A and B are shown apart, each in its own frame.
Chain A
Amino acid sequence: MTAPTPAPDRVTARASGRVLPSPVTGQELVLIGVIALLWVALTIFTPAFLSASSLQSLLVRLAPVGIMAIGMTCVIITAGIDISIAATLMVCAVVTAKLLTLSGMGAVPVILISMALGCFLGAINGLLISYGRVPAIIITFGTANIFQFIGLRIFNSQTVNGIPPTLGFLGPGQAGRVLGVPYAFMLMVVLVALAWVYLRHFPGGRHLYAIGDDEQAAELAGVNVRRHVLSAYALTGLLVGLAAQVTIAGGTTTLDQSVGRGQELATIAAVVIGGTSVMGGRGSVLGSVLGALLVQTVATGVTQLGWPTQLANLFVGVFIVVAVGADLIRERYARTSV
């Protein structure tokens, strides 16, 4: 940047890397292109797609996955994974629903309680992974079952009925938007922007990349690895607690035991499709949100075209395989180009 480099060298420098990964990676550009193509195609084949209500509902449904994907991106950048978030979402959602219906609490305390609860559950994962030194997939597989048990106990075999519209401002209805833009979506955008800046421009964010690249080297460079890993899982839990609010706001007045089901896979899919390496050390929240948007677009498109919904699974599966394949090819290329 500051040091002038001779012209022939500059070409190699640009071709082979940056102090920071560039603000928008190749994979993100590809995703933007694919999403744009899909939107054009869907507009042509189903005129309803581009209607305000259709887009608004798409964006509200995007929000919870997008918010959780922020945390998941941080976790996967450290070469970890959290498959317990669906169960965490269920616990936070049912606690929120019960608080809203039984105590009639206001929105702010409910949101704070849910986020604190999620953060606590995430911190349990983080503690076991960073201090117990057990692989993240094993720990979170275990805690997923435990959290699910807790959630189901709180449900007590009954759906929660008559949830008041306290959280309506996060939902798809009229209360939930200004100038046609849903608050939930704006909340997600703000959080993504904050996370993007944090990961790139704050020491803590850089440390996450260093840990995922090489944990031992990070430790020796003086990075407090355990604290950072713990924070990544705690943050994920906290964001899941927030996503639970949007999930409730986006539903009906009832909440049943199926809440959260499949959300961990949807979130991981979004992150992976967005170009974050499952081996750690590379990735961005922008990519993850684009991944989430792609998945949501496909789901909406398949529904609106009247195709069988299984086709959405097929497409998402193909995207994941292509994205991970691209990552592996990139890495192999990088390793052999030395």
Chain B
Amino acid sequence: MPTQPPASRVPDGITRLSLTGISKRFGGVKAIRHADLHVMPGEVHALVGENGAGKSTLIKILAGAEYADTGVINIEGKEVTIKSASDAIALGVATVYQEAELFGQLTVAENIFLGREVRRGIRIDWAAQNGQVVKLLERLDLPASYATRKVETLSAAVQQQVSIAKALAEDARILILDEPSAILTDLEIRTLFAAVRRLTDEGVSIIYITHRLDELFEIADVVTVMRDGQTIGTYPVKGLDVRGIARMLVGDKYSESASNRAERAGGEPVLQLAGLGSRTDLHHVDLTVDAGEIVALYGLVGSGVAEIASTVYGMNPVTAGTITMDGKALSLRSSSQAHNHGIALLPANRKEQGLFSFQSVGFNIAVGNLPLLRKARIWMDAKRESSVASDMIKRLAIKTPGPKQAVQNLSGGNAQKVVLARQLVERPRLLLLTEPTHGVDIGAKDEIHRIIEELASEGTAVLVATSDLTEAMRIGDRLIVIRNGTTFTEFGPDASQADVLAAAAGQLSAEQERALALKDAS
């Protein structure tokens, strides 16, 4: 059992924002069962929860993108209804999303006043507009010259600050920052925190959503934890630690997390990465995947976990270290070379990287394996192609009338299975999967996991990169935590979710610290 969390904070004084008894259902799924949130003036209120805990739905309700089924929203003690984004803005609630929603070709000032231009007569009053922007920029400690810079010339971090400035220009008193740090470097995060502190000093309330538990202790005053569509409680950050929050996030689930794979074929190492670095966010990755083994890689957004698979698949140039496959050094310059070495990749974004949307299910399964399905090694064997596609549809339980079906008509889970089927026509030596079940319903998720396990029992080495902790725990024979582009630490099948979460946030257990120290010493 986790240690008892500290007593829940009772709201006192005048609350700026109160959400009470919020619930929201999408079709048959209850995204939020019961949520309470009380935000004080000038505080940084962190909102944490695993994927699917209901954070984003709650934020959407506040931002006017969704409307709650039940519950009451009070702002400054008055009950309000937020039915649209403009309602939210009028009430002083502004949201800054992870990817800045700005127009790159326009200047900072134009972006900030887009749709609400300051006018003199029928003309835009550039001087007045720029003057106001300069004041806003000063509030965020940004140089005044940025007012007339085109947004696309600014870094991601500055663009984010411009979004914050835009929110301030709309007189926001409640500012929602949706995972602002995920795409920022450590130095940029400092700048963000400085801006956040300046705003809270002015009395702006910040709702700060993050997966990086370690940063709560630097920036947040209080934290509200969500789990399974409910707010578990709100606690002052002082008196908590990363491990304590991690335990609240995962609840009792951590006890049933161990991989349930009965036996696995032990085998020789298939893939070995030694000190791998690439121009993307990878610095130093060491890992080995054996034949028949499933290794899960877990890391937060921006940790580099997503880049490992694509680098092994030859899509990013390797700048340091080596990739060894079956004992031989690999230097791949293209994905087709990786393909020829028996490496298969299930890309993260199936819509953009996996599916040929104009084509049939059969075409989508066969493409990439066409040379295998030839007659006399010359032209396509239509019968075999069709029977292979039908076999795959059966084996992966793809819900479609047959290989002739247009792939556009499939649901997300079935579309993902089609892309997976393509990798399995010829059993790969090494299968790389990134976010294999992202946006896939629960039933299809189980089936995809079963297929991956089956494949491993047949001897394929499997590397699964995921930001879904439950998935990583469940499917991996071993679990490797990636942090800052390096392999941070490794867990066996009996790890607890709280430990893994804490590790992803940079905190090791005493036992692991000792092991690491031993390794460094030797």
CB of A209 within 8 Å of the partner chain:
yes
A310 at interface, CB cutoff 8 A: no
Complex Cα spacing A203 to B381, Å: 10
> Are B422 and A221 neighbours in the complex by a CB distance under 8 Å?
yes
- A6–B400 alpha-carbon span in the complex (Å): 11
User: Are A13's CB and B359's CB within 8 A?
Assistant: no
B363 — which chain A residues lie within 8 A by C-beta? 19-20, 206, 209-210
Asked if A220 contacts B354 (CB within 8 A), the reply is yes
Minimal beta-carbon separation of B346 from chain A (angstroms) = 9
Query: Is residue A258 within 8 Å, beta carbon to beta carbon, of the partner chain?
Result: no
Is A222 within 8 A of B401, CB to CB?
A: no
**B338 in complex: contacting residue of A214, A218, A222, A281, CB < 8 Å:** A222
Q: Mark the stretch among A158-166, A178-186, A330-338 that contacts chain B.
A: A330-338
Complex alpha-carbon distance, A3 and B389, angstroms? 10
- B306 CB → nearest A CB, Å: 14
In the assembled complex, the Cα of A200 lies from the Cα of B382 at a distance in Å of 10
Task: Answer yes or no: B92 CB below 8 A from chain A CBs.
Answer: no
Is A2 an interface residue, CB under 8 A from the partner?
yes
Complex CA gap A335/B355 in Å reads 14
CB distance from A13 to the nearest CB of B (A): 4
Stretch at the interface among B244-252, B291-299, B367-375: B367-375
- Chain B contacts of A337 at CB under 8 A? 408-409
Question: CB within 8 A of B352: which of A1, A6, A216?
Answer: A216
0/1 string, B402-423, CB within 8 A of A gives 1: 1111111100000000000010
A98 within 8 A of B: no
Q: Does residue B340 face the partner (Cβ distance < 8 Å to A)?
A: yes
Q: CB-defined interface of B380-391 with A at 8 Å, one 1/0 digit per residue? A: 101101110110
Give the nearest-CB partner of B356 in chain A. Answer: A213
Contacts of A103 in B (CB 8 A): none
Contact B355 A5 (CB under 8 A): no
Residues on the B chain within 8 Å of A221, using CB = 339, 367-368, 422
B26 interface residue, CB < 8 Å from A?
no
What chain B residues lie within 8 Å of A218 (beta carbons)? 356, 367
Q: Write out, one digit per residue, whether chain A residues 205-227 have a CB within 8 A of any chain B CB (1) or not (0).
A: 01101100110111111111110
- State which residues 76-114 of A face B: CB under 8 Å: none
List of B residues within 8 angstroms of A5 by Cβ: 401-402
CB–CB B335/A210 < 8 A: no
Question: B336 interface residue, CB < 8 Å from A?
Answer: yes
In the bound complex, CA of A282 to CA of B368 (Å) = 18
CA distance A285 to B145 in the complex (A): 57
Q: How many interface contacts (CB-CB < 8 Å) are there between A and B?
A: 142
Please name all residues of chain A whose beta carbon is closer than 8 Å to the beta carbon of B406 when the two chains form the complex: 16-17, 334
Q: Are A217 and B390 in contact (CB under 8 A)?
A: no
Interface of A is mostly: helix
A6 to B339, CA, bound (A): 36
Q: Which of B355, B371, B379, B407 has the most CB of A within 10 A?
A: B379
* Cβ proximity bits A24-62 to B, threshold 8 Å, 1 near / 0 not: 000000000000000000000000000000000000000
Q: Which residues of B contact A226 (CB under 8 A)?
A: 334
Contact A220 B353 (CB under 8 A): yes
Cα of A282 to Cα of B360 in the assembled complex, Å:
12
Contact assessment for A9 and B401 in the assembled complex, using a CB-CB cutoff below 8 Å: yes
Q: Which residues of B contact A222 (CB under 8 A)?
A: 335-336, 338-340, 368
Closest CB of chain A to B357's CB: distance in Å?
7
Task: For the complex formed, measure the closest distance between the CB of B413 and the CB atoms of chain A, giving whole angstroms.
Answer: 14
- The 7 sampled A-B contact pairs (Cβ below 8 Å) are A19-B404, A216-B353, A219-B315, A222-B368, A225-B336, A281-B359, A334-B408
- Number of contact residues on A: which range applies? 35 or more
CB <8 Å contact, A213 and B354:
no
List 13 other contacts, CB 8 Å, given A19-B360, A216-B353, A218-B356.
A3-B390, A3-B393, A17-B406, A18-B360, A197-B379, A201-B380, A203-B371, A203-B380, A206-B380, A209-B356, A220-B335, A222-B339, A224-B336
The answer to whether A261 has its CB under 8 Å from any CB of chain B is no
Rounded to whole angstroms, the CA-CA distance of A210 and B409 in the bound complex is 18
In the complex the two chains form, what is the Cα distance from A219 to B366 in whole Å? 14
With known contacts A5-B401, A19-B363, A207-B370, A213–B380 Cβ distance under 8 A: no
CB proximity of A132 to chain B, nearest CB, Å: 16
In the complex, chain A residues whose CB is within 8 Å of the CB of B315: 219-220
Check if A209 sits within 8 Å of B359, measured CB to CB. yes
CB neighbours (8 Å) of B382 from chain A are 1, 19-20, 201
Q: How distant is the Cα of A97 from the Cα of B147 in the complex, in angstroms?
A: 63
Any chain A CB within 8 A of the CB of B347? yes
Closest partner residue, chain A, to B378 (CB atom) = A202
Q: Give 6 closest A-B pairs by Cβ, nearest first.
A: A222-B339, A17-B406, A203-B370, A221-B368, A9-B401, A19-B362
Q: Is the CB of A217 within 8 A of B409?
A: no
Encode contact with A along B213-253: 1 for CB under 8 Å, 0 otherwise: 00000000000000000000000000000000000000000
Which one, A17, A207, A338, contacts B404 given CB within 8 A?
Answer: A17
A78 to chain B, nearest CB (A): 13
Are A223 and B352 in contact, CB atoms less than 8 angstroms apart? no
Bound: A221/B315 CA distance, A: 12
A201 to B373, CA, bound (A): 11
Asked if A18 meets B379 with Cβ closer than 8 Å, knowing A220-B347, A221-B422, the reply is no
Known contacts A214-B352, A222-B336; A2/B401 CB under 8 A: no
A278 to chain B, nearest CB (A): 13
Q: Which of B360, B366, B393 contacts A17 (CB 8 A)?
A: B360
B17 within 8 A of A: no
Interchain CA distance A2-B347 in the complex, whole Å: 30
B228 to chain A, nearest CB (A): 30
Distance A122 CA – B362 CA, assembled complex (angstroms): 33
Q: How does the 8 Å CB contact mask read for A6-23 relative to B, with 1 for contact and 0 for none?
A: 100110111011111000
**Interchain nearest-CB distance for A287 vs B (Å):** 15
A221 to B403, CA, bound (A): 18
Contacts of A225 in B (CB 8 A): 336
